Structure 1
Amino acid sequence: MKQIRWHRFSFFLFLGIYILNIPGGTVSAQQVDTEELEKGLNERIVFINYEGPHSRIETLDQIRGIGYSMGLAVKSGAIRNGSTGRYFIIHSVSAAEGDKLDADIMGLGIDIGVDHIRNLRLIIQGYLEGAYDYSVRDASLLAEYITIYNAVFRGSWNYFTSRYKTPVIGYLTPEKAGLSTRFDEWPGQTLMLIPMETGKPGSLSAVDTSSLTRPEIIEEMRKDDDRGIEQRKDMVDLKEREAEEAEQSAAVQREAIREEEKKIQEERAAAEQEQQRITEERQQVRESQDTTPEEKAQQEQQLDQREQAVEQKQEELTQREEALDEQRKEAQETQERADRKAEEAQQEREEIARDQQDIIVQQDAQTGAVTGVIGLRMADGNSRLGRVVKVNPSSGEELRTSALNTVSARTLSFSGTRILAVAGENRGSGAVRLVEINPDTLEMVKQGDDDIHPESLLWMNGNNIYAITVSSGSNYLTRFSIDLVRQARSAVPVHPYASVLFQGNMLLTQRNDGSVLILNPSDLTERKQ
């Protein structure tokens, strides 16, 4: 089984780190060599997302709504909903096949726009809310587990065929079942499975949490720095509520069975008494000397009708008793589910407690750890992109890694306590923009509104930032404030690989044809003699 690490988004490829020092307010780069990480069966796999600015930003409600609308359709009885070119759902429920599972299958078509695992989870969350009435919190938790589950078993065709019913497998193909860890392999190549337990809207056990918390899944979560403690605690809470719900449901079922048993017993006794009266009355009619043959025939007919009604009642009671057998079976299964969920929750709670204790021991051992310095790790040997890291200045060990993996390496700059850079890619909904990165969390906290040339550098002059922007197919030198807001843009197009030099009250760069262009640094108007 391949190891998968979640939440810490990092490339385990060629590793090159640029340590940025800032003596006297200037920025310099020093390359630190590291060994290439081992590859093989135990190589850690990560969710590789597009991390960077976007040209179009959809709201969380819009993204969630994709799944929610499909969920409402399924709750209304749809077997299939959505568009095969984008997002679609297949609701596969069929006759029992031993202990094999039904499933909802969420497919990602060739024209999807989702490029980050958090947004994919938001779509799944919306679906679970719409189809099964899960709360926002529970749906969000299940969505995270569902993506991990599908990534762990991606390519494990034998597992899928052994766990899911024949109709479910009929919708799948070996190469598409599950979820790739690379966002660029999702379109047209993804059929995620949502394992069903009760599959009933309003039931906390609609989705099979036991499958989602198989040992393989928990073991992968435990590889995270925080060992997935919070998510695992939330799942234990959900399972405990599942157990309580199932326990209450089983109790209600048993009470209903007892009441029905009592009614059947009383009604059968009444039917038997009626049959006894009919038998006695029939004997009296036959022995009577005071009635004519015609009267006897009429009385016999009436008794036959009453006897037929008794027989129908007895048959009805027999059918109700047979239905009770099915209800007893359902009540037993519900109770078994309650017991199983309670046992799983208890076991997982004990495992979490042990992991929490281990973390405390590790934290105590790390007391007094050194403060890291900011560096940048390249994606690979052929890319200008990388991600910001915080490293131990003595050992080079990474202490923190940014999720933003599209930083243009030669643009990483500092202005006071701010980290500034050009980041992003021009594909899908992505865009190349100026960004600000939080020096503590290393997360992107702000992006500019102007499209930046992918090869542009950044030039700092006081609190002014200069970069080459792109507009209507031409390149222009643009000045930005420290808050990434455009202040001025040259009227004259510049060379895509132009340099910028500040000399006195002049800024020297290059026109499209490569000739020198002299601008005013403030408004970027051309200086003419």
Structure 2
Amino acid sequence: MRISRSIIICLIVVGFSLTAQSKAPLGESEIKGSKKIEFINRSLRKASDDIIQENTETGKKLAETLAKENSATVDGVKIQRILPGADGKLGADILIISESQSFDHINSIARILASYIEKSFQYKVGNAETLAQYILYYNATHRKDAKFFGKKYTSGVMEVTSPDKLGIDTVYKNWPGKTQIIIPIEGNILKDNGKDVTTDELEKDVNRTVKDKEKDPATKQKMEDEAKKMDKLQTDKIKDEKKVLQDKKDEVSKEGKDLQDKKEALKKQEAEAVASLNELKKDPVKNKAEIEKKTEEVKKIEQEKKQTDEKSQAVEAKKEELNKKEEQLAKKEEARTGTTTSSDGAKKDDTVQKVEAKVEELKTELAQTKEELKKKEEQSDNVVNNKILFMKFIKYDTDGHYSNELWAIDPAKDDALFKSPYNNICSKEFKEIANQGVLVLGYDGEKVETRKHKLVLLDPDKLGVKKTSESADIFWRTPMINREDKIYVIEKVKDKYHVSRFKSDLTFEKRTEEPVEENSELTFFGDKIYVTGKPKEGDKTTIKVFKKEDLSLLKTIAP
């Protein structure tokens, strides 16, 4: 049909319905000054249910295919994804209309975009329609503007597009084979596919164009009404993402704790395996087969430790990414609090400036903390106060009781070697207690049967005794768990065993009223402590769940 017989539809976004062909939402691309944005469509006929369904299915199928590959083509419409660049510029999903495909009305393209956005980026139907309108307006405004896109988008986008096809034309006959609609995308860890529409870019650019260049009063008013929808979309998006962010942080935190517990368990297994191997090596001829078996066991533990460390690094990277996202959301939320959709060009008010100054201050503190943690990570767990600590096995007494010595190497003094003056150490491991010293399990008494065991805090410099838990009788095979400046152990009280909590300076704080198995494992999850007993042969395994705050019993689980 000739253009002279076509009907020119002015942009009326607020009244734009994706179920009707009679209302075109957008307008002329190369807008300058007061020129109106207008679309010329082939037909004014209302879209049939079949056409609406066809458009919706096209967008959905494009999204489903692109989730598996870097490009997708459905019924003459292609989507190609270019990821954001290392240069910090935007990536893009590029919608291309082939020469063989033609549409009677801009609403068909809008429906495809809306369906694609809804499926790909998990937006609600209404919000996806709003974004589709903004994307079409954005692309019509910057039709063939390679300079504009080149400044904002990564080089990969420019390499796969043609300057004479960029954006979308206002005349229907120029859509087939001449359309490359740019959908700005960015990374978003909160989305299922890790990608998202860059809604900030669309909102800022389109609203500014309407504010500065749209001179038609009716169109301007209707576009400002549409901008209110975008403003609500953006505000709701921040709220929703904050909820998702917290859920993901909780998941990552749990994963990190589980990995840390596993690392501690592997460390314990390795120490026991190495100790056993050393015992076997005292008679290498007699124990040859056992030595080979135990050596293989140690290797497997080392391999598992390596894999666990790699997983821990991945978790830390994810934590870092979530923290960055949290900072971004905080800044966006504060910025939107004092602004409206029509004031993009206005200066930031004092409140926003103060908030940003505070954010910068916190970022500086965070950087300093990270630097300290990095230095800590560069050292092994057995480095305390810049000295390398290690346990030296002295003798095996009986029934699993050991006597050990704690030694230290001082790298700053030409690897000088010295021993802790405290000799009654029975634990195979030690724990660094922040701002306090080195924690070990010690004992009083020569005979194993009458020994009383206690927590012993050693000075981090000379390894001399700083303080002990004199009044407590600690189970000699207790785990020593240091969490949130508290120390959790198994304590013996009147021939029964309880979970007890001490402050970091070994001041007694609380113990469970309900007794537990002497050989128990402690698992921390949220505000609970799960105590898994290791019963004697023939007895049932029980898991007692305590409230972390006051160590009161919540329930008992019997698998």
Q: State the TM-score, normalizing by the size of structure 1.
A: 0.52
Q: 2:55: which partner in 1?
A: 66
Q: What is the CA deviation profile of residues 239-266 of structure 1, one whole-angstrom value per residue up to 9, with x for unaligned ones? A: 1222123212221222223222322322
Q: 1:123: which partner in 2?
A: 112
- Please say if residues 178 and 190 of structure 1, whose CA atoms lie closer than 8 Å, have aligned partners that are also in contact: yes
Q: 1:148 to 1:65 in 2, by over 3 A?
A: same
Q: 1:314 to 1:196 in 2, by over 3 A?
A: same
Q: 1:173: which partner in 2?
A: 162
Q: Distance in 2 between matches of 1:167 and 1:234?
A: 32
Higher relative contact order, structure no. (Cα contacts within 8 Å, ≥ 6 residues apart): 1
Question: How many Å apart are 1:196 and its aligned residue?
Answer: 1.8
Q: 2:276: which partner in 1?
A: 281
Question: How many Å apart are 1:111 and its aligned residue?
Answer: 4.8
Q: Distance in 2 between matches of 1:271 and 1:202?
A: 33
- Please say if residues 31 and 37 of structure 2, whose CA atoms lie closer than 8 Å, have aligned partners that are also in contact: no
Q: State the TM-score, normalizing by the size of structure 2.
A: 0.49
Q: Distance in 2 between matches of 1:205 and 1:346?
A: 26
Q: Distance in 2 between matches of 1:93 and 1:237?
A: 28
Q: Kindly indicate whether residue 146 of structure 2 is the aligned counterpart of residue 151 of structure 1.
A: no
Q: 2:374: which partner in 1?
A: none
Q: What is the CA deviation profile of residues 149-201 of structure 1, one whole-angstrom value per residue up to 9, with x for unaligned ones? A: 11222232122223323333222101110122333433332111111234897
Q: 1:270: which partner in 2?
A: 265
Q: 1:238: which partner in 2?
A: 233
Q: 1:207: which partner in 2?
A: 197
Q: What is the CA deviation profile of residues 473-511 of structure 1, one whole-angstrom value per residue up to 9, with x for unaligned ones? A: xxxxxxxxxxxxxxxxxxxxxxxxxxxxxxxxxxxxxxx
Question: How many Å apart are 1:87 and its aligned residue?
Answer: 4.0
- Please say if residues 59 and 114 of structure 2, whose CA atoms lie closer than 8 Å, have aligned partners that are also in contact: no
Q: 2:291: which partner in 1?
A: 300
Q: Secondary structure at the match of 1:72?
A: helix
Q: What is the CA deviation profile of residues 395-418 of structure 1, one whole-angstrom value per residue up to 9, with x for unaligned ones? A: xxxxxxxxxxxxxxxxxxxxxxxx
Q: Secondary structure at the match of 2:109?
A: helix
Q: 1:282 to 1:80 in 2, by over 3 A?
A: closer
Give the counterpart letter for 2:245 in structure 1. A
Q: Kindly indicate whether residue 37 of structure 2 is the aligned counterpart of residue 46 of structure 1.
A: yes
Q: Distance in 2 between matches of 1:318 and 1:353?
A: 46
- Please say if residues 194 and 207 of structure 1, whose CA atoms lie closer than 8 Å, have aligned partners that are also in contact: yes
Q: 1:333 to 1:47 in 2, by over 3 A?
A: farther
Count of residue pairs brought into register by the alignment? 313
- Please say if residues 109 and 188 of structure 1, whose CA atoms lie closer than 8 Å, have aligned partners that are also in contact: yes
Q: Distance in 2 between matches of 1:263 and 1:233?
A: 45
Q: Distance in 1 between matches of 2:194 and 2:290?
A: 60
Q: Distance in 2 between matches of 1:238 and 1:187?
A: 32
Q: 2:124: which partner in 1?
A: 135
Q: Secondary structure at the match of 1:127?
A: helix
Give the counterpart letter for 1:7 in structure 2. I
Q: Secondary structure at the match of 2:77?
A: strand
Q: Secondary structure at the match of 2:197?
A: coil
Q: What is the CA deviation profile of residues 280-306 of structure 1, one whole-angstrom value per residue up to 9, with x for unaligned ones? A: 323333346xxxx54321232122122
- Please say if residues 80 and 88 of structure 1, whose CA atoms lie closer than 8 Å, have aligned partners that are also in contact: no
Q: 1:92: which partner in 2?
A: 81
Question: How many Å apart are 1:64 and its aligned residue?
Answer: 5.4
Give the counterpart letter for 2:118 in structure 1. E
Q: Distance in 2 between matches of 1:350 and 1:126?
A: 25
- Please say if residues 125 and 136 of structure 1, whose CA atoms lie closer than 8 Å, have aligned partners that are also in contact: yes
Q: What is the CA deviation profile of residues 326-354 of structure 1, one whole-angstrom value per residue up to 9, with x for unaligned ones? A: 21232124324433543454355374799
Q: 1:219: which partner in 2?
A: 208
Give the counterpart letter for 1:334 in structure 2. K
Moved more, 186-195 or 114-123: 114-123
Q: Distance in 1 between matches of 2:271 and 2:180?
A: 65
Paired residues for 1:392-411 under 5 Å: none
Q: Distance in 1 between matches of 2:54 and 2:64?
A: 15
- Please say if residues 69 and 130 of structure 1, whose CA atoms lie closer than 8 Å, have aligned partners that are also in contact: no
Structure 1 segments (4+ residues) deviating >6 Å:
199-205, 352-355
Q: 1:346 to 1:112 in 2, by over 3 A?
A: farther
Moved more, 144-153 or 270-279: 270-279
- Please say if residues 133 and 201 of structure 1, whose CA atoms lie closer than 8 Å, have aligned partners that are also in contact: yes
Give the counterpart letter for 2:312 in structure 1. E
Q: Distance in 1 between matches of 2:275 and 2:191?
A: 54
Moved more, 342-351 or 147-156: 342-351
Question: How many Å apart are 1:319 and its aligned residue?
Answer: 0.5
Q: Secondary structure at the match of 1:154?
A: coil
- Please say if residues 103 and 193 of structure 1, whose CA atoms lie closer than 8 Å, have aligned partners that are also in contact: yes
Q: 1:163: which partner in 2?
A: 152
Question: How many Å apart are 1:226 and its aligned residue?
Answer: 1.1
Q: Secondary structure at the match of 1:100?
A: coil
Q: 1:42 to 1:64 in 2, by over 3 A?
A: farther
Question: How many Å apart are 1:131 and its aligned residue?
Answer: 3.8
Q: 1:459: which partner in 2?
A: none
